[in-house]
Every structure is written in C-alpha cells, then in structure tokens.
Amino acid sequence: MEIEAKVRPKNLSKLRSSLKSAGAVFKGRGLEKNWLFDHPEQALAATDKLLRLREDIRVSLTFKGPRQNSQFKKREEIEIEFPDTSSARSLLEAVGFIHWFYYEKFRETWKLGSATIVVDELPQLGVFVEVEAETDAEVEAVVRKLKLPRKYISSTYVELLVESAKQTQKYTGAFRFPPEYESVLGFTDADSK
C-alpha cells in the first residue's frame, strides 16, 4: 500500500535546509521518463487504476489501484523490474495495452528514517514534494518536521498535467523538458542511469 502526501513547497531552499537539519540523507537526483499504458477503451483510467512504465536508474512497471478515501493518497501498488524499456513495452503491447501518455520529471530523493521524500519538477507544473511512509502517522510527522504546507494535493501528476494542458492549450502528446533544460539544471543522462 502506497501512502503519500503531495504538496507544493513554499520555498525550495528552505525545504532542503529543513531536510538536512532533520537528518535526511540525500539519495540522488535524475530524470524520470514515464509511459502510461491502458486498454484501448481506457478501462484502467475509467476505474482510477494506472499502469506505468518508468525509466530512471532502473526500469520498472507499476500497477496502482484505485485511490482510497483518505487525507493522504493511498492506493495499492505492485511493482516489478524489467531489464530494459523496450522489452517491457513489447510485452505490454503484445498483450493488448496501448501507450496513451508520456511525461518526464526531474526527481530528487531523500530518506528520513523509513520515510522517502521526493522533490519533483515537471514541465508546465513546477515543483512538488511527496512524502511517502508506511503509516498516516509517519507521513504526518515528516510533514510537520519539515514544516511543509498541510494543503495536500490528491490529484496525480497526469491529472495535473492534463488540466494544465486544457488551460494553456499546449498539449502535444507528451510532457517533456527541452534538451537544454537538463544541462541548465545540472542533470545529465548519467544521473538517470
């Protein structure tokens, strides 16, 4: 079961200082590439389920069940690893799934005890923080310790990206950073391998 809180940080440099002061350990940063798959009739999306293929330092296929009614985002999560993206895509397409959405994000990962804190930056959306832990109480304790806003966002990144595209009318079939963006932020392909 995935239990997480998603918020918009008020000040990213203060957040990083809070993470260090709290004893959080920086685990790395890199570019994540995410492909969403579904049945041609969008049966998974219609029932609030998700099938995501992700490439970062590894390749993983994740199924996420419907969100449960809670102050935090809670959903069943099943994940398996693949040796490479193309074999995973081939398998999914062979059994009838279609690729319907693509997005990138830069992710910075921190560990604080058993909790994982990620700082995500997405095209068109900006920066978000997610706190994931084993229990609601752990998530709440980390949010308090880091002095994060308590205005939790229940929408997925896909929902936020689609809404942004509707407002700006800038959807081109994928949400990605321009190539020069990676070098400006100091990210390289090596960071994501």
Q: What's the pLDDT at 47?
A: 98
Report which secondary-structure segment, H or E, holds 137. helix 136-145
Q: How many structural domains is the chain composed of? A: 1
Q: What is the mean pLDDT of the chain?
A: 92
pLDDT, tens digit, for every residue of 149-191?
A: 999 999 999 999 989 888 887 766 688 888 766 554 554 443 3
pLDDT, tens digit, for every residue of 120-150?
A: 999 989 999 999 999 999 999 999 999 999 9
Q: What's the pLDDT at 182?
A: 56
CB 131 within 8 A of CB 148: yes
Q: Which token pair is 38? A: 């579904």
CATH number at residue 88: 2.40.320.10
- What is the three-class DSSP state of 94? helix
User: Residue 111 phi/psi, 5° resolution?
Assistant: -120, 135
pLDDT, tens digit, for every residue of 8-20?
A: 999 999 999 999 9
* Structural domain that includes position 156: 2-192
pLDDT, tens digit, for every residue of 25-48?
A: 999 999 999 999 999 999 999 999
